[in-house]
Structure 1
């Protein structure tokens, strides 16, 4: 295996949550009489921390971001029923990496509470040596999450690869000086990822085995 450490985004990379996120944001907008953003614009902010995402999407309502963020968390957890599931092949790939002694981490725009809940629900927590969320670091595409993880684990940028589904993830990797792999499972298209620093693009999660080799 080429890398000592594989860092994964969560939404749209490990788990099929993008439709639920988009629907929740639309419900927040409707609830607060805010015009909905386009689906393309809404998808483009996935990966940012929640407050940054909402402010980017609804700049005219910057003074209400805390209120909108509270509404989002409530609707996502308690109201919206859009199903979410792991992408096919996730556990197979994680098991293979673990068997080869590769360290695996998560860098996500989710909250700590949200990530912890999904770790328990999916049973994947055993695979990850450490995780960083939007609560503990600067919002993507700042390299802060990756820098924190590398410092904690004592690895160098050339020993690390970041895997994500957004242009934001790819830019974060570039700023941190680590390799990047894109997946077309979530937000960005193959063509969009091709225009980034990603050296490999996977259309299915199991194709990551090829890219990581």
Structure 2
């Protein structure tokens, strides 16, 4: 079947391809607890997923002495690295990516993870060769700034109007809007469905299976 709308499909990582939302929330909370700082609730900790790590900690744990933020980041990494080898992809991710590659799409990742963290995740998940390009928050501006999408489209020689961003947070969808790309939401990650819907994505997927089906029929 001929492609209908897009040439480049860009995925967020955490909460979109990798089932990591609850682990990230617990690690943010543990980092605050380690330092005797106010512990953000699940909603506050979930909201910052997708942002660059330093930005995320400043939003999740606001109004503390700035000297604490490097220490919060260090404690977060300590807790996360103790668990990230056990994280798994959502069911069906590998098959979906293989199918999309076979259909000739360019595939990319735009993530709030840092480069070391994404490379580690790509290696452990077996997806190192699945993407044509990737961009991380420590390499450019954090979401929802459109820089990641601008850089990916330039690197791959693609048209923003034929680029689709897929993510589980309003940061992902707002980045797509800011860049002039299309957006699709997934409902099984960090942000509530009603907040995602307010940004009017082309589609909102309840599972990887439904996302895969929609991409086959509409992308």
Equivalent in the alignment of 1:72 = 76
Q: How does the TM-score come out when normalised to structure 1?
A: 0.95
Separation in 2, partners of 1:81, 1:51 = 19
Gaps of 5+ in 2: none
Distance 1:83 1:26 in 2: 19
Q: Deviations over 1:45-79 (max 9, x none)?
A: 1000000000111222233211211121122103x
CA distance in 1, matches of 2:90, 2:25: 18
Shift of 1:194: 1.2
Shift of 1:82: 9.5
Q: Is the 8 A contact 1:174 1:197 kept in 2?
A: no
Question: Structure 1 residues 3, 81: CA separation in 2 closer, same or farther (over 3 Å shift)?
Answer: closer
Q: Report if aligned partners of 1:20, 1:83 keep a CA contact under 8 Å in 2.
A: no
* Correspondence list, 1:48-63, <5 A: 48-61=51-64, 62-63=66-67
Aligned to 2:22: 19
Q: What is the deviation of 1:81?
A: 7.6
Q: Which residue of 1 aligns with 2:34?
A: 31
Q: Normalised by the size of structure 2, how large is the TM-score?
A: 0.93
Distance 1:129 1:67, change over 3 A: same
Moved over 4 A (4+): 80-83
- Aligned positions, number: 212
Q: Following superposition of structure 1 onto structure 2, how do residues 183-198 of structure 1 map, counting pairs within 5 Å?
A: 183-198=186-201
